[in-house]
Amino acid sequence: MKIKWYGHAAFRIVPEQGPVTITDPYTPEGVGYAPIADPAELVLISSDDDSAHCRADLISGEPEVLNALTVAQNDGSASAGGLTVTAIEAAEWDHHPEHEVPGQNGMYRWEMDGIKCAHMGDVGNPLTDAQQAFFEDVDILFALAGGYLTIELPDLMEMIHRTRPKLVIPMHFRTLTYRPRNTMWIESFLSHFKDEDVDFAFASEIEITKEQLPERTRVMVMDYVR
């Protein structure tokens, strides 16, 4: 499969088999990243009321849209575009400066090309035991790595150490384009790993197969689309 990072929590996954999928598309003016120009067949969103995570209406190609929060609140599993998605409910940071009441959202996972993928949505608090267990046996984890506004890094690392995903792709961290006050640069997240366990793509797109997945947890830092 091919994975492209647009920035924030938005990725495009192009599998050998299955729908071309985009996760958590944003409002460009809100986060500073470039408009998402690529079409998709399926868009997965972690909620329907957060403009940094739900702008399926901006994606071309007339994709099907699946809201992970709705999935989580209705039996935890649903199918769209030929893809089965499971989800678990989560909440934004309790002290979010833009919302009086923390917004609800869904963390979600799916399988493509025999690779089990999971996206952390916009969770902002320590994970419950059930939420941690949701990420067990994951191959690729799209992980919230910026601390402020989302889950704190020690709480994130507790889940990673427990579930041991094979490949962690960080997202939602501070960059030269996206720089909310107090959001952490990627170095803060990487300090929790040995240097030899971290790779840099130096590009906004990578290609990976099930056979190429590492045996133990590694981090792949991607660049964002310019």
The model's pLDDT over 174-200, given as tens digits with 9 standing for 90+, comes to: 999 999 989 999 999 999 999 999 999
The HSE-up count of residue 50 (CA atoms within 13 Å, CB side) is 27
Q: Does residue 102 carry a pLDDT above 70?
A: no
Cα(57)–Cα(50) distance, integer angstroms: 13
Give yes or no for residue 148 having a pLDDT over 90.
no
Asked whether the predicted pLDDT for residue 92 surpasses 70, the reply is: yes
Inter-residue contact 138 to 81 (CB < 8 Å) = no
d(CA 36, CA 76): 28
Reported as a pLDDT band with limits 50, 70 and 90, residue 101 is low
Q: What is the pLDDT of residues 12-38, one digit of tens each?
A: 999 999 999 999 999 999 999 999 999
Residue pair 203/224 in contact (Cβ under 8 Å)? The answer is: no
**Unique residue bearing structure tokens 């320590």:** 126
In Å, how far from its chain's centre is CA 111? 14
Mean pLDDT, residues 201-210 taken together: 98
The first and second tokens of residue 211, run together, are 């056979």
Reported pTM:
0.95
Question: For residue 107, is pLDDT > 80?
Answer: yes
pLDDT, residue 7, reads 98
Alpha carbon distances (Å) from 60 to 18, 22, 24, 29, 166:
18, 11, 14, 18, 32
Mean pLDDT within 157-181: 96
Cα-based angle 69, 183, 226 (whole degrees, multiple of 5): 80
- Distance, in Å, from the CA atom of 223 to the CA atom of 218, rounded to the nearest integer, reads 17
The answer, yes or no, to whether residue 77 has pLDDT greater than 70, is yes
Q: What is the average per-residue pLDDT within 110-132?
A: 97
Q: Which helix (H) or strand (E) holds 221?
A: strand 218-221
Average pLDDT over residues 117-143: 97
Q: Which residues partner with 80 through β-bridges? A: 83
What percentage of the chain exceeds 90 in pLDDT?
92
Average pLDDT, the chain: 95
Domains of the chain: 2-221 (3.60.15.10)
CB 80 within 8 A of CB 117: no
Report, as an integer, the average pLDDT of 148-160.
Answer: 95
Q: For residues 175 and 7, what is the distance between their CA atoms, to the nearest angstrom?
A: 9
Mean pLDDT along residues 191-216: 97
